[in-house]
Structure 1
Amino acid sequence: MLELYQNKEYESACELGFKNYVPYLRDEEFISLYGFACLKIDYVERLSIPINILKLSQESRSNAAYFSIILMQKKLLYHALIDNYDISSLNLPTTDYVLSKVFDLYSKHKKDKQQEFYIFEDEKDNQLKYKLYLLKDARIDKMVIEEFHDSLSIKKHIYW
């Protein structure tokens, strides 16, 4: 899996970790790498396995906490967008992951009413903007974060 990760084959590394984590339950480097590979391709829902397994070392507990923050922010932001749940009073830790950045920006945003989409400017780079919206689907609505640099779309993250 390390070779896949180093070669930026994150989807293959995430799949390998997901299908083969049981024999590696005590190999926290394998489990952490599995978690980070899944995070690189926005498979945030797969973080629940590493969150529950990582506990033996300080580094692994730190990784589990990092994954937990991101998974919780995903769930809360989705809840806010779908159900108009107010997250403005929440004071959560944050991370450098794009979902965390957008969660923080959305929670600080004054919401008089729900909007079709939200545009946020990155707090550290005014050339970087995020567009947050729901993609309606017959099965399940998806939460989308598009990253723009100088008005050019550079990445689209889709979560469900």
Structure 2
Amino acid sequence: MRKIIFLLIALNCFAISLADINKAIENQEYSKVCNNLVYDLAVKNQDDGLMNLYGIACLRTDYINKLSAVIIALRNSKEARANAVYYSTILYKKKLLHSALVDNLDISSIKLPKCDYILSDIYDDYILGNYIKENDKYIFRYNDKIYEMSLRFDKPFTKMVLTILNSNNQILEVKEYW
């Protein structure tokens, strides 16, 4: 009996409510929303709106590989399917860019819709040749920022590393994709 009570208390400690999710979104605490508890809640309730919030949070925290589950789940309405296409485009651009850099795949003829995500801009400029290549780095410039894309060979994955610098070459952020 004690084990059952302990299990119920433990499960309640890890539960998340819609109010918690809305508060996290309002406070731009996206990592709290891009987690399995939120995903499971959205699937359980078949809630496309919650699933979309989960997808947006995963984009904002650069966990874009988690979008594959969102793409499959968003299918119940016209708006949900449109959001799934948006997430698919971002994920596809990432995969194509990775294959181009790692495997020398020619992606120059693959035109895809523009999205408001940095890898989308980099993909578009990569296929147009709008970058500078210095040694093993691909350098892109947007506004007052410099984006350096390089590869890091970590077994078992080769990762794309995006280093974001200001105009004084100070590192602002580093993002990794595989």
State the TM-score bracket (shorter-chain normalisation): 0.7 to 0.9
Q: Which amino acid aligns with 1:71?
A: L
**What is the rounded CA distance, in whole Å, between the counterparts of 1:110 and 1:129 in structure 2?**
13
Q: Which amino acid aligns with 2:110?
A: L
* 2:43 alignment partner, one of 22, 32, 49: 22
Task: Tell me if the contact between 1:133 and 1:143 (Cα under 8 Å) persists in the aligned partners.
Answer: yes
**How much has 1:76 moved relative to structure 2?**
0.5
Query: Which residue does 2:75 correspond to in 1?
Result: 55
**How much has 1:140 moved relative to structure 2?**
1.3
Query: Which residue does 1:130 correspond to in 2?
Result: 147
Identical pairs, percent = 39
What's the secondary structure of 2:115's corresponding residue?
coil
**What is the rounded CA distance, in whole Å, between the counterparts of 1:57 and 1:98 in structure 2?**
27
- With over 3 angstroms needed to count, the CA separation of the structure-2 counterparts of 1:104 and 1:139, relative to structure 1, is same
What's the secondary structure of 1:119's corresponding residue?
strand
**What is the rounded CA distance, in whole Å, between the counterparts of 2:140 and 2:151 in structure 1?**
15
**What is the rounded CA distance, in whole Å, between the counterparts of 1:110 and 1:7 in structure 2?**
36
* 1:93 alignment partner, one of 91, 102, 113: 113
**How much has 1:17 moved relative to structure 2?**
2.3
Matched length? 155
Query: Which residue does 2:125 correspond to in 1?
Result: 105
**How much has 1:154 moved relative to structure 2?**
1.9
What's the secondary structure of 1:141's corresponding residue?
strand
Deviates more, 1:58-67 or 1:91-100: 58-67
**What is the rounded CA distance, in whole Å, between the counterparts of 1:78 and 1:114 in structure 2?**
18
**1:122-152 deviation line (CA, Å, top 9, x unaligned):** 2xx2x22210011121321111112222133
Structure of higher CA gyration radius: 2
Task: Tell me if the contact between 2:42 and 2:48 (Cα under 8 Å) persists in the aligned partners.
Answer: no
Segments ≥4 residues shifted beyond 6 Å: none
Unpaired runs of at least 5, structure 2 = 1-20
Unpaired runs of at least 5, structure 1 = none
**What is the rounded CA distance, in whole Å, between the counterparts of 2:171 and 2:116 in structure 1?**
19
Task: Tell me if the contact between 1:2 and 1:33 (Cα under 8 Å) persists in the aligned partners.
Answer: no
**How much has 1:43 moved relative to structure 2?**
0.8
After TM superposition, the score normalised by the length of structure 1 is 0.87
Q: Does 1:46 align with 2:66?
A: yes
